[in-house]
Chain A
Amino acid sequence: MRANFIFSEVWIGLRRNLTMTIAVVVTVAIGMALLGVGLMINAQVSNMKDFWSDKVEVSVFLCGKDDPFPACKNSGGVNEQEKQTLLAQIKSLPQVENVTFENQAAAYENFKAQYGADSVLVSAVKVEDMPESFRVKLKDPEAYGSVIEQLRGAPGVSNVVNQQDILERFFGLLERLRWAALVIALILVFAAILLIGNTVRLSAYNRRRETGIMRLVGASNLYIQLPFVMEGVIAGLIGGVVAATLLIISKVFLFESVQAYLPGNSQLGWDDVASVITLTMIVGVVICVLASFVTLRRYLRV
C-alpha cells in the first residue's frame, strides 16, 4: 500500500518533469563516467607502477670513441681501469641491489629488439656505435636521485639515465588526463546538484496542493518527502547505469587498445572496472539524495 502509493507518485513526478529528468540523467551520467574514467586511469597507473617498479634500472653509459658528450671530451673512450673503478664505486653504493655490464653487442641486440630488425634506424647503426653501459638495479627504485648525483661526472661516464624518468613522463601524461577528468567530473557534479535542486523545486511547486493536504491530514515528513527524494534517486540510478555503460565501453575501446602499445602486462582487470562502477553509482545516488533533501528543506515546509 505505502510503497504502491509512493511509487505511483514518483512515476507521476518523473513524467511531469520529463525534460528536467532527462537533463539530470545526462549530467549525472557524464559526470559519473568522467569520475569513473579518472578512477580507472588511477588504477591503470598503479598497475603499471607495480609492473615497472622491479624492472626499472639506472643506466650508466660509458664514453665511446669520439662521443660528443662534454664529459667524454678528449678521453678517447673509456679504458679498462676506469671501468673497474666505476664498477667498484657502484657496488659500494648502499642503494644498489646489483649491477650488470652491457657490452656493445648486447646493447645492439636490445636496440634491435626494441625497434625491430628491419627498421631504418637499426640498419643505420653499427655495433661499434652502441655505447657500453652499467645497468644498475636499485633496492628502492624511487631513490635514484643520489645515485645519479654520485655517478654523473665520474671519469669515463658519458651520461646517467634513469629509466624512471622516461616512465615518469608517461605517467605524468596519464596523471594530467586523470586530473582533467576529475575536474570536469567535479564541475558536472556541481551542475547535477543544481539541476536536481531545480527539478525538486519544480516538482514541489507542481505538487503543492497534494503536499499541503498531506501536511494537513498529518502525513509524516518521510511520507511527504520520500516521493521527491525517490525521484532524485531514480534519475541518479538511471544516470549511473548510463555511466556504467560508458565506462565499460571506454574500458574495451580505450584502455584495452592503449594497452596494445605498452610493453608488459599491466591490463586493467574487470574487477577494477566493477569496483569503479560500484563506487560511481554510490556517489551518484548519494549526490542525488543529498541534493533533493537539501532543496526539500527549503521549498517544502513541513
Chain B
Amino acid sequence: MASTTPATVLPPRLACRDAPVIHFDNVSKVYANQNRPALDHVSVDVDKGEFVFLVGPSGSGKSTFLRLILKEEKPNSGSIHVAGKDLSRLSNFKVPHLRRRIGCVFQDFRLLPNKNVYENVAFALEVIGKPRRFIRKVVPEVVELVGLEGKAHRMPDELSGGEQQRVAMARAFVNRPMILLADEPTGNIDPATSIGIMKVLDRINRTGTTVVMATHDAAIVDSMRKRVVELEDGKIVRDQSRGVYGQAY
C-alpha cells in the first residue's frame, strides 16, 4: 500500500490504525560543503511491526535516512516523527531516551573485542543503568534467540562473521526496542550465512519490532518479499509493499 499517504486517510487496515512509528514529512538534508542534497523532499511512513528494505546505490541517501531517525543528524527542512516524538522538538538531553527505543546493527558489527558475547550484550543494558538481576535474566534469553546458546563465553575473535553479527543483533534487541535499524547487516557475510542473519531479523520482526534494513543484497530482498523503498539521489523512486530488489516498473 502507498505509505506516502497521510496517516489520517489510510485505509482501515488493522496495522495502520496506530500512528506510524517512523514518519518523514518532506524531509531534506544537505550536508555542509556539499551542494547535492543527501535526501531530497522525502516523505515516507513506516508502521508498527513493518519490515522495510531500504535499497539503492551507494550515496543514494540510505545511511542518511537511518542517521536522521537516530537524530545523529538534523534535517534542513521537513519534519521527522519517531516513536510518536517530533525529533525537531526533542531536546539533546532526551536523545538518549529516544535511542533506547531504537536498536542498531551495522556492517562492521561494532563489538567490544575485550568482552565476551555475554558481556557485549550486557554492556548495552549496564550503560543505561539496568539492575544486574534484570541483566542476568534477559541476556541469556536474547543470546538464545539469536542462536548463540552455548557460546556466551566466547570472545568476538573466536566467532565467525555471522556469529559476530548475531551478537550485535542480540545487543541491539536486548532492550526490546520498538525499532531495529540495520545498515547493511549482511555486507561482510557470505550468502549462506546471510540467510541465518535474515532469519534472526525476521524472528525479531515477529515479536512486533519494526525493522528497517538498508541493503545492497538483491537475493535477500527478493527472497523475503517485504516492503521495498528504493532511494536514488536522495529521492524515493519506488515504494512497493511486497517488492523485489531491481524490479522495473
B-binding residues in A (CB < 8 A): 1-2, 5, 209-210, 212-221, 223-224, 302
Contacts and interface: CB of A to CB of B under 8 A. Distances in A.
A145 B127 CA distance: 70
A223 B98 CA distance: 16
Contacts of B70: 216
A220 B130 CA distance: 13
Nearest to A302: B92
Contact of A215 (B99, B103, B132): B99
Contacts of A302: 92
A219 B110 contact: no
A176 B104 CA distance: 62
Q: List 7 tightest A-B contacts by C-beta distance, closest first.
A: A218-B100, A218-B99, A219-B127, A217-B124, A218-B96, A214-B127, A220-B96
B171 interface: yes
B112 A209 contact: yes
A61 B132 CA distance: 86
Given A209-B112, A216-B99, A217-B99, A1 B129 contact: yes
Interface residues of B, number: 26
A210 B97 CA distance: 18
Interface string B45-75: 0000000000000000000000000100000
Given A1-B131, A5-B126, A217 B100 contact: yes
B126 A213 contact: no
Nearest to B124: A217
A85 to B, nearest CB: 83
Contacts of A217: 99-100, 103-104, 123-124, 127-128, 171, 175
Contact of A218 (B93, B126, B128, B132): B128
A129 to B, nearest CB: 84
A216 B128 contact: no
Contacts of A214: 127
B171 to A, nearest CB: 7
Nearest to B98: A218
Interface of B: 70, 92-93, 96-104, 110, 112-113, 123-124, 126-132, 171, 175
A2 B132 CA distance: 10
A207 to B, nearest CB: 10
Given A217-B99, A218-B99, A209 B110 contact: yes
Prevailing SS type, chain A contact patch: helix
A100 B127 CA distance: 80
Contacts of A2: 129
B24 to A, nearest CB: 21
Contacts of A215: 96, 99
Contacts of A223: 127-129
B110 A213 contact: yes
B112 A212 contact: no
A5 B175 CA distance: 18
Nearest to B115: A210
A224 B123 CA distance: 13
Contacts of A209: 110, 112-113
Given A213-B124, A214-B127, A221 B132 contact: no
B124 to A, nearest CB: 4
Contacts of A220: 96, 128
Contact of B126 (A1, A216, A221, A224): A1
Contacts of B124: 213, 217
Contacts of B123: 210, 213, 217
A214 B130 CA distance: 13
28 contacts: A1-B131, A1-B132, A209-B112, A210-B112, A210-B123, A212-B110, A213-B110, A213-B127, A215-B99, A216-B99, A216-B110, A217-B103, A217-B171, A217-B175, A218-B99, A218-B100, A218-B128, A218-B175, A219-B96, A219-B127, A219-B128, A220-B96, A221-B92, A221-B93, A221-B96, A223-B129, A224-B127, A302-B92
B157 to A, nearest CB: 14
A229 to B, nearest CB: 16
A302 B91 CA distance: 12
Given A216-B110, A302-B92, 11 more contacts: A1-B129, A5-B126, A210-B123, A217-B103, A218-B96, A218-B100, A218-B175, A219-B96, A219-B127, A220-B96, A223-B128
A223 B100 CA distance: 14
A220 B92 CA distance: 10
